Amino acid sequence: MSNIHHIKQHTSEEFPIVIIGCGFGGIGMGIKLREAGIHSFTIFERADEVGGTWRDNTYPGCACDVPSYVYSFSFEPNPNWSNIFGQQQEIQQYLLDCVAKHQLRSHIRFNTAVVKAEFNDEEGIWNLTTESGEIHQARVVITAVGGLTDPALPDITGINDFKGEMFHTARWNNDYDYGNKRVAVIGTGCSAVQVIPSIQPDVAHLDVFQRTPAWIMPRHDFTISQKFKSFLAKYPKVQSAIRGVLYWGSESLAPFLILDSKWLSKPFEALAYRNLTKHVEDPELRQKLTPHFQFGCKRMIVSDDYYPALTQENVALITSPIERITEDGIVTKDGVHHALDCIVLATGFDLSLAASPFEIQGRDQRSLNDEWSVDGAYAYKGVSIAGYPNWFSIMGPNTGPGHTSVLIYTEAQINYIMGGIQTLKTQNLKYVDVRQDVMDEYNRNIQKRMKHTVWTGGSCVSWYLNADGSNHALYPGFATEYCHGIKQFKLNEYETTLYPQVQDLPATSAAG
């Protein structure tokens, strides 16, 4: 272990904090720490730039499927969104602007992947090992590693034999010119639905390989005029009112999109079916595109240009299952060989909600990976995990929404974690460790409610579900309810230990 070196010593007053990941979660956390006058934090980012999923997903057409006035920080409103649904480049620019405005860059260690974390009970310190073997120490660790980050590559026979160009939507090769090429898109989820209409006009031929047709609602996007942007800049209260309207609008949809009720799903299925019939006249194509699962079971997709793109002459929707990939194309079960120059894998993400993001060892050497591999990922309110003191997660287990902006939840978590940090500091506690009984009771209730959701009862398979069919990804209720429940950091829900004495502690290499 000769390459391990310890970072310079600071006093405990500096209270070293490490944030892992610099997407929306890590950036928001950094902003709130600085606002509270806490500068002794470092953000470890495995890539060479901030942005997380918005940095990585550069495929043509990539945009948010949640209106940007609510898919942005409430404390950093941006009056300049180009459209109702912000595009990837401007969302990434928004994050870069947040980082610059709040002077976060000096806190960030780029190209630094944390591969191991071990808690030292005696000192109340987390030892974090990076890929290069450095060890950093922290009193508090906040993981903001995101969920939709690692591409899920399909297990298709011959996938490595293909001699043409092949890439995943989240790793788009922007140097590749797909103009006049024969291109395949495997998958018809949110990413595919954005890519397909964007590349269709330029490619020679497009084969769309569909396994399960999705429910698709109209998007109704529109460009925001310069006049309106200036108006919002002048009257920020109007923008927060718009945010409020969008928030409560989506909250009102929650029962329809969450509960396992055929009656509640029906109006949405009717609207989506009308959207299909409006754009697709050919009865055979319509039939292929008609979903057979309950609306909401998979994430609702919004698009105005996907169906029209599928009706174009240079597009074929292929529903015969893929048998294998060859050197020059894809062979389907019906025996047809589809000759191709390029294959786009729009096959989603590996959420890994039955494993920890890396090796994490809590009190008494317990291993998070071992614990989560039994029944899936659990945390209290998605944030704290019993046995892993002073360890907080942003966008942790069961905190994803099926009906609204994930950032509503993210902000609530950041606020809660700030409460935890302030409690640790002001009460001179060595650690806070959520009580096992409190965490278990919370998750029993979550999983009980999960049985009544469309995600488990709606006859579909989605990335929300673990291999055993359990859902550790989403929150089965209103955002308002989640936010209310997490409003206050309650110390009586935690085991605590006083810090024995003020002593010099090794700190991270935190700037500032």
186 and 345 Cβ atoms separated by less than 8 Å: yes
Beta carbon of residue 210, minimum distance to ligand N01 (angstroms, whole number): 7
State the alpha helices, DSSP H only, in 139-235: 190-199, 226-234
Give Cα 147 to chain centroid, integer Å. Answer: 4
For residue 431, give the H/E element and its range.
Answer: strand 429-434
CB nearer to ligand N01: give 326 or 423: 326
Largest CA distance in the chain: 76
Q: Which x/- pattern over 91-110 shows residues binding ligand N01 (rule: CB under 6 A)?
A: --------------------
Task: Quote the CA–CA distance of 245 and 239 in Å, as a whole number.
Answer: 10
- Rule CB under 6 A: choose which of 94, 358, 372, 463 binds ligand N01: 463
CB nearer to ligand N01: give 57 or 390: 57
Task: Quote the CA–CA distance of 208 and 188 in Å, as a whole number.
Answer: 8
Positions in 483-512 near ligand N01 (CB under 6 A): none
Positions in 277-336 near ligand N01 (CB under 6 A): 299, 322
Give Cα 63 to chain centroid, integer Å. Answer: 14
Applying CB under 6 A, does 211 fall inside the site for ligand N01? yes
- The window from 96-104, 125-133, 343-351, 451-459 that contacts ligand N01 (CB under 6 A) reads 343-351
Positions in 124-153 near ligand N01 (CB under 6 A): 148
Beta carbon of residue 445, minimum distance to ligand N01 (angstroms, whole number): 25
CB nearer to ligand N01: give 302 or 505: 302
Positions in 181-210 near ligand N01 (CB under 6 A): 186-192, 194, 209
Three-class SS of residue 238? helix
Task: Quote the CA–CA distance of 395 and 1 in Å, as a whole number.
Answer: 33
Applying CB under 6 A, does 65 fall inside the site for ligand N01? yes
Positions in 344-363 near ligand N01 (CB under 6 A): 346-349
Beta carbon of residue 369, minimum distance to ligand N01 (angstroms, whole number): 23
Beta carbon of residue 172, minimum distance to ligand N01 (angstroms, whole number): 12
CB nearer to ligand N01: give 141 or 186: 186
Beta carbon of residue 425, minimum distance to ligand N01 (angstroms, whole number): 36
433 and 423 Cβ atoms separated by less than 8 Å: no
Output DSSP code: residue 83.
B
CB nearer to ligand N01: give 321 or 512: 321
Q: How many positions of this chain bind ligand N01 (CB under 6 A)?
A: 26
Tokens describing residue 329: 């194309």
Applying CB under 6 A, does 399 fall inside the site for ligand N01? no
Bridge partners, residue 116, by sequence: 129, 359
Task: Quote the CA–CA distance of 448 and 451 in Å, as a whole number.
Answer: 6
Q: Are strands 504-506 and 329-332 parallel, antiparallel or unpaired?
A: unpaired
Beta carbon of residue 69, minimum distance to ligand N01 (angstroms, whole number): 14
State the alpha helices, DSSP H only, in 261-396: 262-279, 283-289, 306-310, 368-375
Tally the C-alpha atoms within 13 A of residue 265's C-alpha that lie toward its C-beta: 21
- Rule CB under 6 A: choose which of 154, 218, 419, 477 binds ligand N01: 154
User: Which residues contact ligand N01 (rule: CB under 6 A)?
Assistant: 63-65, 148, 154, 156, 169, 186-192, 194, 209, 211-212, 299, 322, 346-349, 461, 463
